[in-house]
Structure 1
Amino acid sequence: MKERPHQRLEVWRDAMSLVEAAYRFSQDFPDTERFGLTLQIRRAAVSVSSNIAEGAARRSTLDYLRFLSIARGSLSELDTQLQISTRLGFAEMSPELNELVDCVFSKLNALIRSLSKPRTP
C-alpha cells in the first residue's frame, strides 16, 4: 500500500496516538457525559489528526497552513477539555497524556513555522 503524504509526518503519527489516548482517557466517564465531555474530547482529538491529514493533501501552502491552524485550535480545545475533566474528577490526566499533548503542540508549531518561512527561488 502506498504511503500517503500525511502518513510521513511525525506530527500526524503523534496526533493519531493522541486520539487513542483521548479515547482511553474518556472511556470511564459517567454515562451522563456520553454526549458532553466524552463526545467533545473525542471529536477534538480526531479533528487534530484529520486536519493535519487534510492540510497535507492540499495543493497550496496557504491551504495547508489553514488546516494546520485548525488542527492547532482543536488541540487547544482538547487540552482545555482534558483539564475540565480532571477538575471535575472524571479522570486523572496521566503525565504521558500531558506529554503527548505538549509534543503534538510543539511539532505542529514547528511545522507551521517551517511552512510560513518565505521561500527563496
Structure 2
Amino acid sequence: MSFKFEKLMIWQKAMDLGEEINNMAMTFPDKERFNLSSQILRASDSIALNISEGSIGQTNPEQRKFIGYSIRSLAEVVTCMHKAKRRNYIDNKAFEGIYGELFHLMNMLIAFRNKI
C-alpha cells in the first residue's frame, strides 16, 4: 500500500533534498537558528509537502496550483542558499552541489505541472 504521491519521482527527490538541506542547516551558527536555518528548513520541507497535498483528491487545476507552490518554495530555498554562501556558512562546493539538485528538481516540477 502506498499513497499516489509516494510514487512520484518529484516527491522522492524533494524528500531527499529536504534531508540534505536539513543536514546542511544544522551546521549554520546558533545565531541563525530562528532566522536563516528555520527559513531554509521550512521552505525545503514545503516543496514535498505541497507536492503531496496537491496530489490527494485534487482537480488538475488545483494540483497545478500546489506544484506552483512547490516551485515557489524551491525558489525560496535557492535564495536562502545564496544567503548562506554570502555569510560563509557553506563553501562553494556545497552550494554548487545543492544548487544543481534544486535546478534539476525545478525543471522536473515545471515539466510535471505542464503535463497535468
User: How far 1:59 moved relative to its partner?
Assistant: 2.7
Count of residue pairs the alignment pairs up:
114
User: Equivalent residue for 2:70?
Assistant: 71
Q: Could you say which residue in structure 2 is the equivalent of 1:103?
A: 104
CA deviation vs aligned residue, 1:26-48 (integer Å, no higher than 9, x gap): 11111110000000000000000
Q: Output the TM-score relative to the length of structure 2.
A: 0.93
Match of 2:85 in 1: 86
In structure 1, distance between residues paired with 2:52 and 2:97: 24
Separation in structure 2 between the aligned mates of residue 45 and residue 29 of structure 1, nearest angstrom: 16
Deviations 1:58-115 (A, max 9, x none): 3300110111111100000011001111011111252331221011101100001111
Matches within 5 A, 1:1-121: 2-92=1-91, 94=94, 95-115=96-116
Unaligned runs of 5+ in 2: none
AA at the equivalent of 1:109: I
Provide the secondary structure at the position in 2 that maps to 1:66.
helix
- Aligned equivalents of 1:68, 1:46: Cα separation in 2: 13
More helix by share: 2
Q: Which protein shows a greater Rg?
A: 1
8 Å Cα contact 1:26/1:91 also seen in 2: no
For the 8 Å contact 1:12–1:53, the answer to whether it is kept is yes
Runs of 4 or more off by more than 4 Å in structure 1?
none
Q: Distance in 1 between matches of 2:64 and 2:97?
A: 28
Distance 2:2 2:35 in 1: 35
User: Residue 3 of structure 1: CA displacement?
Assistant: 1.3
